[in-house]
Amino acid sequence: MISFVWHLVLHLLVPILVAWLFFRTNFRRASLIMFSAILIDLDHLLADPIVDPTRCSVGFHLLHSYWLIPVYVLLCFWPKSRLLGLGLVIHIVLDWLECL
């Protein structure tokens, strides 16, 4: 259970740290947009059970699909979607680290 709590804390802290380091002039806006990427976890509601600590989210849930990851990376290259794309990539990387 401690691992799950740390996982959730990292989903909050890593976008804030990235916003502080790279988008300091728009820190609040950048951190909120990157943090909003946590909404892709809504796809967990389609799974049974909703939360399974032994299950790897990446590749299992719809919005965590392998074919969507390149789309998330591509979003990082356009200025209007850069922050959302970065948040999604951070989210996927943190979820993937949980799978190791």
For 34-49, the pLDDT digits (tens) are: 999 999 999 989 888 8
pLDDT digits (tens, 9 = 90+) for 47-70: 888 888 788 889 999 999 999 999
Number of domains in the chain: 1
4 or 86, higher pLDDT: 86
15 has a pLDDT exceeding 80 = yes
pLDDT of residue 2: 55
Residue range(s) defining the domain that contains residue 23 = 2-99
Per-residue pLDDT, averaged over 84-95, amounts to 96
What is this structure's pTM? 0.91
What radius of gyration, in Å, describes the C-alpha atoms of the chain?
14
